[in-house]
């Protein structure tokens, strides 16, 4: 198949030009900067048809590309991890980087998945001590590959929520599964359900995490949780049920939807 035909077919799937470029570059070693689309370059029909059918079936283009360059790091991606969301990137860049100094701090990234949050934090705060945990060994293997590639030293740990975590932290961040079980989630078909779904109302992970937060947070520590905006009120109430002495703010995303709960521990009752 000629490159031009392949390009037209990919464009018809409403892919972004930047994503088509990346796909052609990393799957077929074709650099669009070095050639014209109507050049005589050929692409293997068989492989392209496979790629096209997958994309038509909502297979995420970044699983085919295999990585995403974001916040100065390369995050490797496959079906064992979710693709980092723009809201998470925005929160890290616009909220954490601007408001928190995590250098020399003990940090926990609970439910790390691709490792995106830990990798971005370690890159920005080289002297932070970061533990990144997940229950999925496959996700951890993918995250470790990214850490090695980016030469970032992160302590990855296999753990069912806090089960294998024994340290205390200045900063805990978590983007846990939060989609209600029956919610029609567009990209769920090829993404790990373990990373998405959290019970009938989507709150099961928070129910497991929130009762332990105070025990794992040092005095003056901060805990941040990504959340699904329709559940923001419920998650706020759930948090204060288990953790009373906290200053809490809900941070909105660029579309002004509540997407993050940030809780600052103001009194330490345990140390
Ligand atoms: C929303 S994804 C993480 C996304 C990633 N932190 C990011 O921001 O791109 C949720 C992660 O929670 C993990 N997870 C699900 N149940 C868990 C449990 N019981 N203990 C620890 N991790 C769990 C999943 O394997 C998945 O990697």
The better pLDDT of the pair 37, 68 is held by 68
Task: Quote the DSSP letter at residue 96.
Answer: I
Q: Is the CB–ligand 1 distance for residue 177 below 6 Å? A: yes
Q: Token pair 């283009």 is at which residue?
A: 61
- pLDDT over threshold 90, residue 188: no
C-alpha 111 to ligand 1 mean position (Å): 4
The residue contributing the CA closest to ligand 1 atom 13 is: 111
The better pLDDT of the pair 212, 7 is held by 212
pTM of the complete model beyond 0.85: yes
Bridge partners, 247 (sequence order): 264
Q: Is the CB–ligand 1 distance for residue 194 below 6 Å? A: yes
Q: Sheet holding 217-226: strands in order across? A: 155-158, 129-134, 106-110, 169-174, 217-226, 258-265, 246-252
Which is the closest atom of ligand 1 to the Cα of 83?
9
pLDDT digits (tens, 9 = 90+) for 128-143: 999 999 999 999 999 9
pLDDT digits (tens, 9 = 90+) for 158-182: 999 999 999 999 999 999 999 998 8
pLDDT digits (tens, 9 = 90+) for 110-120: 999 999 999 99
Query: Which segment, 4-13, 19-28, 151-160, is predicted with the most confidence on average?
Result: 151-160
- What is the rounded CA–CA span in Å between residue 80 and residue 179? 17
- What is the rounded CA–CA span in Å between residue 55 and residue 19? 12
Q: Residue 196 has what pLDDT?
A: 92
CB 115 within 8 A of CB 132: yes
Q: Where are the beta strands (DSSP E) in the chain?
A: 67-70, 73-76, 106-110, 129-134, 155-158, 169-174, 217-226, 246-252, 258-265
Confidence band of 36 (pLDDT split at 50, 70, 90): confident
Which is the closest atom of ligand 1 to the Cα of 196?
1
Q: Is the CB–ligand 1 distance for residue 80 below 6 Å? A: no
Burial 95-130 (b: 16+ CB within 10 A, else e): ebbeebebeebbbbbbbbbbbbbbbbbbebbeebbb
CA quadruple 196, 199, 201, 203: dihedral positive or negative? negative
CA 127 from chain centre, in angstroms, equals 22
- What is the rounded CA–CA span in Å between residue 191 and residue 229? 21
Task: Quote the DSSP letter at residue 72.
Answer: T
Structure tokens belonging to residue 62: 């970044």
Q: Is the CB–ligand 1 distance for residue 62 below 6 Å? A: no
Query: Which segment, 11-20, 184-193, 200-209, is predicted with the most confidence on average?
Result: 200-209
Q: Is the CB–ligand 1 distance for residue 113 below 6 Å? A: yes
The better pLDDT of the pair 80, 17 is held by 80
Q: Is the CB–ligand 1 distance for residue 202 below 6 Å? A: no
pLDDT digits (tens, 9 = 90+) for 213-257: 999 999 999 999 999 999 999 999 999 999 999 999 999 999 999
Q: Which residues contact 205 (CB under 8 A, 6 or more apart)?
A: 111, 161, 176, 177, 178, 198
Q: Residue 185 has what pLDDT?
A: 55
Which is the closest atom of ligand 1 to the Cα of 81?
27
Q: Is the CB–ligand 1 distance for residue 164 below 6 Å? A: no
The residue contributing the CA closest to ligand 1 atom 19 is: 160
Measured CA to CA in angstroms, residue 2 lies from 5, 8, 14, 36, 53 at distances of 5, 10, 20, 11, 17
Q: Is the CB–ligand 1 distance for residue 191 below 6 Å? A: no
Q: Residue 31 has what pLDDT?
A: 85
């Amino acid at each position: 198949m000629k490159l031009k035909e392949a390009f037209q077919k990919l464009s018809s799937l409403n892919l972004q030009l930047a994503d088509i470029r990346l796909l052609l570059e990393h799957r077929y070693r074709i650099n669009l900067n070095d050639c014209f689309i109507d050049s005589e370059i050929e692409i293997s029909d068989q492989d392209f048809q496979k790629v096209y059918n997958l994309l038509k079936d909502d297979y995420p283009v970044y699983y085919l590309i295999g990585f995403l360059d974001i916040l100065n790091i390369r995050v490797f991606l496959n079906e064992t991890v979710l693709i980092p969301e723009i809201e998470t990137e925005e929160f890290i860049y616009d909220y954490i980087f601007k408001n928190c100094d995590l250098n020399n701090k003990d940090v926990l990234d609970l439910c790390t998945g691709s490792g995106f949050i830990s990798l971005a934090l370690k890159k920005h705060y080289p002297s932070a001590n970061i533990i990144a945990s997940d229950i999925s060994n496959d996700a951890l293997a993918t995250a470790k590959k990214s850490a090695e590639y980016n030469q970032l030293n992160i302590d990855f740990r296999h753990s069912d929520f806090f089960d294998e975590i024994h340290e205390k932290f200045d900063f805990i961040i978590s983007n846990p599964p939060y989609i209600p079980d029956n919610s029609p989630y567009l990209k769920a078909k090829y993404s790990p359900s373990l990373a998405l779904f959290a019970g009938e109302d989507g709150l099961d992970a928070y129910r497991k995490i929130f009762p332990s937060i105070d025990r794992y947070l040092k005095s003056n520590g901060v805990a941040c949780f990504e959340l699904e905006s329709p559940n923001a009120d419920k998650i706020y109430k759930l948090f204060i049920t288990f953790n009373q002495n906290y200053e809490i703010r809900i941070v909105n995303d660029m579309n002004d939807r509540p997407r993050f709960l940030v809780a600052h521990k103001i009194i330490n009752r345990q140390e």
